[in-house]
């Protein structure tokens, strides 16, 4: 199984850029890296997904080094509403072979 | 377009009682999943269905059964509830099996308490 490790918590202030790193040393060749955001009392919501190098969408960027053993979610100019738990998930086409880590609780302060 | 709908939202059971959690998706996805999330922890896969007519065990299947009723619906049954099954249960779906290149779409969960 592609086990992931993330920091338990991070604090930031409004307007700052936040980078959350996920380690996945035993990532498989066909695995993708996906990040989800979860607010209290809600299900996780898809943020961004990538396979290698850099991916950017309207809310975040995902940086993946050449060895793919880690990945970094970058949130530009965070606001209070970005306070949430962020999970990285590493997996391919076999649903039983991917697992969620314990997530990173991001707290954005005014 | 509702996405993934779970019912009920809340449930309290006594030890030994049974119940079925319902899940339906309207995105024409092939694959569906059941996860549980305990306080302060990540999500653990209970069962999944890669496509209509198939089901497989995930990381924590003991004490649960599932049924893929049709392409839209995937139910989770607790035959004899135990306090250790107190948790929040999330259903998810994806266009294709696995999270690779096919993101998961989650419902808002069922909060189950077993006393």
Q: State the pLDDT confidence band at A1, using cuts at 50, 70 and 90.
A: low
Question: Chain B within 8 Å of A9 (Cβ-Cβ)?
Answer: no
Report, as an integer, the average pLDDT of B7-25.
97
Question: What whole-number distance in Å separates Cα of residue A39 and Cα of residue A105?
Answer: 10
Report, as an integer, the average pLDDT of B77-99.
92
Partners of B90 on chain A (C-beta within 8 Å) are: 43-44
Predicted pLDDT at A97? 72
Partners of B105 on chain A (C-beta within 8 Å) are: 46
Closest residue of chain B to A33, computed from CA coordinates: B100
Chain A: closest CA distance from residue B16 (Å): 27
Question: What whole-number distance in Å separates Cα of residue A60 and Cα of residue B114?
Answer: 39
Contact B48 A96 (CB under 8 A): yes
Question: What whole-number distance in Å separates Cα of residue A1 and Cα of residue A28?
Answer: 9
* Burial class, B8, CB count within 10 angstroms (exposed 0-12 / middle 13-18 / buried 19+): exposed
Report how many helices (DSSP H) and strands (DSSP E) chain B contains, helices first.
Answer: 0, 11
Question: Chain B within 8 Å of A82 (Cβ-Cβ)?
Answer: no
| Domains of chain A in sequence order | 9-109 (2.60.40.10)
Question: Chain B within 8 Å of A35 (Cβ-Cβ)?
Answer: no
Q: If you write DSSP's letter for every residue of A66-84 in order, what string do you get? A: TT-SEEEEEESS--GGG-E
Partners of A94 on chain B (C-beta within 8 Å) are: 97-98
Query: What is the H or E stretch that residue B23 is in?
Result: strand B19-25
Closest residue of chain B to A89, computed from CA coordinates: B99
For the stretch A21-31, pLDDT in tens is 999 998 989 89
Partners of B45 on chain A (C-beta within 8 Å) are: 95-96, 98-99
Q: Which of A32, A41, A43 sits opposite B100 (nearest CB)?
A: A32
For the stretch B59-80, pLDDT in tens is 999 999 999 999 999 999 999 9
For the stretch A35-82, pLDDT in tens is 999 999 999 999 999 999 999 999 999 999 999 999 999 999 999 999
Report, as an integer, the average pLDDT of B31-36.
95
Asked if residues A70 and A22 have their Cβ atoms less than 8 Å apart, the reply is yes
Q: Which of B33, B103, B106 sits opposite A34 (nearest CB)?
A: B103
Question: Chain A within 8 Å of B107 (Cβ-Cβ)?
Answer: yes
In the numeric block, the tokens 């107190």 are attached to B86
What's the Cα-to-Cα distance from B4 to each of A74, B10, B39, rounded to whole Å? 28, 16, 22
What is the separation of C-alpha A35 from the centre of its chain, rounded to a whole number of angstroms?
4
């Amino acid at each position: 199984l592609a086990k992931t490790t993330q920091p338990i918590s991070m604090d930031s202030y409004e307007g700052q850029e936040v980078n959350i790193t996920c380690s996945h040393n035993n990532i498989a060749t066909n695995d993708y890296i996906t990040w989800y955001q979860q607010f209290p009392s809600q299900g996780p919501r898809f943020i961004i997904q990538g396979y290698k190098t850099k991916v950017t969408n309207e809310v975040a960027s995902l940086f993946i080094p050449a060895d793919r053993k880690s990945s970094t979610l970058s949130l530009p100019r965070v606001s209070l509403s970005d306070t949430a738990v962020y999970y990285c998930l590493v997996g391919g086409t076999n649903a039983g072979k991917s697992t969620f880590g314990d997530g990173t609780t991001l707290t954005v302060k005014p | 377009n509702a996405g993934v709908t779970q019912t009920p939202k809340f449930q309290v059971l006594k030890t030994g009682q049974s119940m079925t959690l319902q899940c339906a998706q309207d995105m024409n996805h092939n694959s569906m999943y059941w996860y549980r999330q305990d306080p302060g922890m990540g999500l653990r896969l209970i069962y999944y269905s890669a496509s209509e007519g198939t089901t497989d065990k995930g990381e924590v299947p003991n004490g649960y059964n599932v049924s893929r009723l049709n392409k839209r619906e995937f139910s989770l049954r607790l035959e004899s509830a135990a306090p250790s099954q107190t948790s929040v249960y999330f259903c998810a779906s994806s266009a294709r099996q696995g999270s690779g290149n096919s993101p998961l779409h989650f419902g808002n969960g069922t909060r189950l308490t077993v006393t």
